[in-house]
Structure 1
Amino acid sequence: MYVLFEEILGARKVVLNRSTKLNVLTYKMLGKISEKLRTYENDPMVKLIVLKANGKVFCVGGDLVSASKFVAYGHWSFGTSYYRKEFCLDYLLATYKKPMVAILDGSVMGGGVGISIHSTFRIVTENTIFAMPEASIGLFPDVGASYFLSRLPGSFGARLDGAEMVAMGLATHFVPSQNIQSMEKALEKMVASSDATSVTTISMIINKFAQEVKVKPESVITRLDMINQCFSRKSCEEILYSLEHLAIQVQEKWIHNAIRSMRFASPLCLKIFLRIIRQGRSQNIEQCLDTEYIAISHILRRTVSNDFYEGSRAILIEKDKKPQWVPSKLEEVSDEMVAKCFLRSFTEDDDWFPLRLPLRYDKAKAMTSKL
């Protein structure tokens, strides 16, 4: 079983159990998790959900290898089925009505971020690494990233550790890995012995095991002024130029890492994401997911470029790590190319279906206490 569901008096655990594949999310896993979460939400006996994973990794994302092969053996629209399933789960989690604790004791990337970022409590440890590396494989950060990243200071795609995630607001608590099991048992005991479980009582339990974070002096998040100065530029070309100019004046690792990441990523996808994340600042989670789905559909359709399939080949399948992007340079990606990826210009021959997010009630209340 790639995902396990454990029943405890008053609580339910959702446990990712595909550790040999870094807990990558398959289509069936997404469906089973969605089904169980709906059941738990409507069960008055369930007062708390715990989301965790077996192994040393929480989840490194969606099953993009299978998605790319699925499309290769059939029609491009087959791939959109996976994203509809994934985004509907992300939306369910973003609007979930019951307290949820996500334990991120290991790497959390891409789709793994999508299923955990909206949890009421997001617990990180010294083992946690956060990343959204999709542009390196011919995609862009999705799963609602245009919503949650656009609301954070200085977000620019760097890898973050657990302490940095707390400092940035991506996580709520830092708990040493050796204390995680004790924290879980304390939560289980509290839920089992109490008729009314509130966010406050859950927080009190977690706080007993949590530690104050100490961000390293050389941490990238201590450089937010410089980051914002560079990444507030109008275009990707100007952002890259600003970083390169800064690198001449300041010899710091994060600058060179940012430059390297931008140069390695798909130029088209960088421009798509810049537009999406800036639009996302004024959109709700529902609108952000819908916009991301439209853009992903065009990427799968090859409306402008073959970059997703080339990136999957180079990074995930053949692993030569030498993707040949087309267009290959930022300046070769026109505004018209980017604009095409935001149009609902699909025909009957495309066999495309829109993203139909599940009907949710009392959205404003459901979003309380979340990111």
Structure 2
Amino acid sequence: MASSQHDQVLVDVNSSARILTLNRPKQLNALSFQMVSRLLELFLAYEEDPNVKLVILKGKGRAFCAGGDVAAVVHDIRAGGWRTGANFFMKEYTLNYLMATYSKPQVSILNGIVMGGGNGASMHGRFRIATENSLFAMPETDLGLFPDVGASYFLSRLPGFFGEYLGLTGARLDGAEMLACGLATHFVPSAKLPMLEAALCAVNSSDPATISSIIGQYFEQPSLKEQSVYHRLAVIDRCFSQKTIEEILSALEREAVDQRDGWISATIQTLKKASPTSLKISLRSIRVGRLEGVGPCLVREYRMVCQVMRGEFSKDFFEGCRAILLDKDKNPKWEPSKLELVTDTTVDGYFSKVNNGDWEDLKLPVRTKFTLSPYVIAKL
């Protein structure tokens, strides 16, 4: 186990910087339990080490991180019960919280795919560098899950109702779009990354303004593509500001009548293919997240993910993983199959404590010395 942990996260000690490389390129650096455990151990150690001034996180190959290793989680749940899955998410969410409250700058280099849990490992950090290779998504509603890893915090802080759109549809963004909406703090062409890393390793400072000015030397302003979804913010706000999923769909259908836009009909189809239960709990989660700090968001999401894994209200998570990740027939049979069959009472159930023996809420570490950076709040 120990050697596996160390192989999956490579550590480069470079002057006052520590470069951590996620190293499961064949799995697109999907986060295993060993990787999450190792990252948590390293981040805790570096915070106490005065010689470490900043942490650089990147991925090997064509992904930063394509998410948590959900297929492994499902396998573990089937072998050992839902609590084995809960253990993975408990550790992952603790890591997300540590990153969100970290006292030293974290620079995440998002040069490739960044989805699901990969966003949890980067979006809570202070600096998030997109490139022309970046590809963002939170595709959980396709899997019968919901945008977690603190996504109800960072998605709800995007402009207008763009976060609801991303979280419900799993829409993909490129690096220019990530920068435009605030998911990325900087855009640096991939060819300049080696020079940027060298400059960051030479700086010997934890001062955010100093780090920001160094990254700024390599920054380029990318252009949004003509067909970018970010040009459709007005339509997104009109539709995704609605109170319920049903009302969002109705609003989109009204827009489709008024303007012949393939994007609108594609968005409608995407929502109709997703798990009805996932859509409803995801919308509620993002809306509640607008009014909560990152800690309460993660505590609530842990309740929700435990309810998902227990499968008491719906087994859509297991069916989604079967259809998308295991059998790959891409034809999940959701149950309940229609939005109107997912009642408010069912949705409430996902937000309640798990009534199961010695189950406990997520206990986040006390972070008295550190406060959430206002820079992060402003950017997210």
Q: Specify the TM-score bucket, using the shorter chain as the normaliser.
A: over 0.9
Provide the rounded CA distance (Å) in 1 between the counterparts of 2:49 and 2:326. Answer: 42
**Equivalent residues in 2 for 1:111-190, closer than 5 Å:** 111-153=117-159, 154-155=162-163, 156-157=165-166, 158-190=171-203
Give the Å deviation of 1:359.
1.6
Consecutive unaligned residues of structure 1, counting only runs of 5 or more, are none
1:340 pairs with one of 332, 349, 363? 349
Query: Deviations 1:75-95 (Å, cap 9, x if unpaired)?
Result: 122211111011000000010
Contact 2:116/2:148 (8 A) holds in 1: yes
Find the partner of 2:362 among 333, 347, 355.
Answer: 355
Verify: 1:262 aligned to 2:268, yes or no.
no
> Matched residue of 2:157: which SS?
coil
Aligned residues of 1:303 and 1:341 also touching (Cα < 8 A): no
Q: Which residue of the partner structure matches residue 292 of structure 2? A: 283
Q: Which of 17, 22, 25 lines up with 2:23 in the alignment?
A: 17
Q: For 2:112 and 2:263, how far apart are their aligned partners in 1?
A: 22
Q: How many residues align?
A: 364
What's the secondary structure of 2:96's corresponding residue? helix
**1:171-228 alpha-carbon deviations (Å, 9 max, x no partner):** 011111111111111111223xxxx441111111111111012112321111111101
Deviation at 1:343, TM superposition (A): 1.3
Tell me how far apart the structure 2 counterparts of residues 206 and 107 of structure 1 sit (CA, whole Å): 21
**Which runs of 4 or more aligned residues in structure 1 lie more than 6 Å from their structure 2 counterparts after TM superposition?**
none
Residue range with higher mean Cα deviation, 337-346 or 144-153: 337-346
Q: For residue 260 of structure 2, what is the aligned residue in structure 1?
A: 251
**Percent pairwise identity:** 47
| Secondary structure of residue in 1 paired with 2:375 | coil
Shift of 1:168: 0.1
1:345 to partner: Cα distance: 4.0
Q: Which 10-residue stretch deviates more, 85-94 or 250-259?
A: 250-259
SS at match of 1:39: helix
Distance 1:66 1:238 in 2: 36
Output aligned runs, 1:1-371, within 5 Å: 1-153=7-159, 154-155=162-163, 156-157=165-166, 158-191=171-204, 196-348=205-357, 352-364=359-371, 366-370=372-376, 371=380
> Secondary structure of 2:30's partner?
coil
TM-score, structure 1 as length reference:
0.95
Q: Could you tell me whether the CA contact under 8 Å between 1:303 and 1:340 is conserved in 2? A: no
Q: Deviations over 1:245-271 (max 9, x none)?
A: 212222334323321221111100100
3-state DSSP of counterpart to 2:324: helix
In the alignment, residue 358 of structure 1 is paired with which amino acid?
Answer: P
CA change 1:124–1:253 in 2 (3 A) is farther
Structure 2 unaligned blocks of 5 or more: 1-6
